[in-house]
Amino acid sequence: MDNLRELVQFMQPNQRLDLKSVATANVLCLTGSDEGKAAIVECEDIIAALIRLTCDENLSVAKDAVLSLINLTAEEFGAVKVLETSKNVQDRPLIQIAVKHITDENSEFADAWAMVLCNMSRIERLVNDMLDEMEKDENIFFKLGKSFSKLNYNKKNSKLHYLGPLFCNLTQSSRGRELFCNSRYDLFDKVLPFICYPESVVRRGGIIGVVKNICFDPVYHTLILTDKEDVLHSILNPLCGPEEFTEEENEQLPIELQYLPEDKTREVDPDLRKMLLESLLQLCATKRYRELLRSKGVYYILREYHKWEAKVGKDNECLLACENVVDILIKKEEEIGLDNYKEVAVPNDVAEKFVKDDSEYLKNLI
């Protein structure tokens, strides 16, 4: 630890470049191991020095500092410590520096900073603190939406795919969901098209996570299913294949999902397919929206999807998730006998039995 603390003197912005460069490179190497990260987290002065050096005029030093922060924030204890320490480095506000790089189309470190924020925001209890910092600039969410939604926004080849999971993490909180659904920023509308983005599972998965988080909040079901009808067909599109439907069935489907091309493919990642199906299940919570989903032909899409999953996808958890939605949609409301599933209190012993039954069912599938 004493040897580590000795490095701090060489990691000052006004230090000689050669000393500063070697010291920062050594710290970066240390962050590559669990033992090294644990030692650095115990030394707040090192973290503070790293934060300051991310703004160093020497790009090599700045790069090593940012990469060190990526490694440190990869673990919860490191993410918590970095955010705590950043509050004491008032001359270098970490969150604002990160957003400035991400939204600067000429920044060479935009992707690295997106990963730092993504790592920190995975810790749910840090999200509100991060939002506090981000909201100090009222234009931040306009800028983030623009930098994410415009492909090739960054001129230095940063792809900004990690903004997808960052957005997903922010919507873990009710405050984050409110920001995304606020018509002032139009963030939800800007990110939604990337739910089918084929070039990056990171970007695609992040946006599917945003949709899932918002669907899990009943406050936004009206927005999703009536005010913004494109959300429903965006959820369904990755579950659709090239199958043909009867004329009567087609008439019920959202127009965007009618007569899809012969080369239409489904989401290849089973975890993402499951998230989409879980989103649909949440939208089945109330009678009003169950009836709406039936009227949109959701059952027909899931019927064909289930056939494909059983033969091609072969993921048991996806099959079960699909069947959970179908089981609700094929029932008449008289059979269901309640308006809102979310208002039903399930005793612990019954909940445990459901989990056990699902586990046994999965074993006996494909």
pLDDT by residue (tens digit) across 83-125? 999 999 988 999 999 999 999 999 999 999 999 999 999 999 9
- For every one of its 366 residues, what pLDDT tens digit does the chain have, with 9 covering 90 and above? 557 888 999 999 999 999 999 999 999 999 999 999 999 999 999 999 999 999 999 999 999 999 999 999 999 999 999 999 999 998 899 999 999 999 999 999 999 999 999 999 999 999 999 999 999 988 999 999 999 999 999 999 999 999 999 999 999 999 999 999 998 898 999 999 999 999 999 999 999 999 999 999 999 999 898 877 789 999 999 999 999 999 999 999 999 999 999 999 999 999 999 999 999 999 999 999 999 999 999 999 999 999 999 999 999 999 999 999 999 999 999 988 887 776 655 445 544 544 455 555 555 655
Amino acid identity for residue 345 in this structure = A
| Phi-psi domain of 269 (left: phi exceeds 0; alpha: psi -120 through 50; beta: other) | beta
Distance between CA atoms of 123 and 80, rounded to whole angstroms? 8
Q: Is 195 exposed, middle or buried (0-12, 13-18, 19+ CB in 10 A)?
A: buried
The pLDDT of residue 339 is 76
pTM: 0.92
Cross-strand pairs, 286: 340
Backbone angles phi, psi at 253, to 5 degrees: -70, 150
Residue in this structure with the two tokens 């990526």, named with its chain if needed? 70
**Residue 111 near residue 162, CB atoms below 8 Å:** yes
Cross-strand pairs, 340: 286
The pLDDT of residue 140 is 93
Q: How many residues does the chain have?
A: 366
The token pair at 233 is 């067909």
pLDDT digits (tens, 9 = 90+) for 48-59: 999 999 999 999
Neighbours of 247 (CB within 10 A): 6
Distance between CA atoms of 96 and 104, rounded to whole angstroms? 12
